Structure 1
């Protein structure tokens, strides 16, 4: 883990967050600045800066993130669909350099 990374600090429970899921390798919590009625993040507990930094050894972790998204979206009321976004690097709009997946849904209009 990176000492000053905000998401690593959330993983260590040093920074408060509204956690909706936690296991040995993943954490999911509500976005602090939601862009949709339902907007949460799924992050690995291990510090991986970007999707471009993942390796073949991260294959199972990435699959687990993708499988968790619809489960949590459904539990939070996204009956008619949801959007997943992983911003990567400066040109991809990444603001926090710890791999994270945005999951957004709920009644429209909230387009981005």
Structure 2
């Protein structure tokens, strides 16, 4: 959080961290209605499993696998298509937190995971969120359609990083 954000919070405690982050941010168009902003700002009873100054991790309410977690930035970012080359460290930290929650929950085979993002307009919540699912080999047909390798609306974290490194944008 910047010094300006800290100042605003002292004088305006009603302003959420997410709204503060949106001030002056071109890639953020979130609102107080965004459910992931509400979770990130502790305005719900959702259990936060891991967090740091930039990210929060919690269980998906409609799990597509035995282990299905979401990693979201506290700062509102609409979706993976709004990411640019400078977002690479953020995506890498999101992936690291996704792997950490899987390890913490004793997922033994980290090669049998699916980690990625839904492409708009197929995002259920318009706030960037990484899905971390395991074991991928045991996902049912419906989950395979939503998160599997043949899904046209799910892009893996590796592909997002590759596109950011080569094009500077996710296509």
TM-score by length of 1: 0.88
Aligned twin of 1:88: 119
The match for 2:52 among 14, 20, 23 is 23
Out of 89, 92, 116, the residue aligned to residue 60 of structure 1 is 89
Residues paired across the two proteins, number: 110
Are the equivalent residues in 2 in contact too, given 1:77–1:106 (CA < 8 A)?
no
What are the superposed Cα offsets for residues 49-79 of structure 1, whole Å, 9 maximum, x if unpaired?
0111113332221111122222221111221
Larger Rg: 2
User: 1:60, 1:73 → 2: CA distance?
Assistant: 20
- Structure with the largest fraction of helix: 2
Q: Alpha-carbon deviation of 1:88?
A: 1.7
Could you say what the CA RMSD is over the residues aligned between the two structures, in angstroms? 1.6
- Structure 1's consecutive aligned runs of 4 or more residues displaced over 4 angstroms after TM superposition are none
TM-score normalised over the length of structure 2 = 0.60
Rounded Cα–Cα distance in structure 1 between residues aligned with 2:93 and 2:107: 19
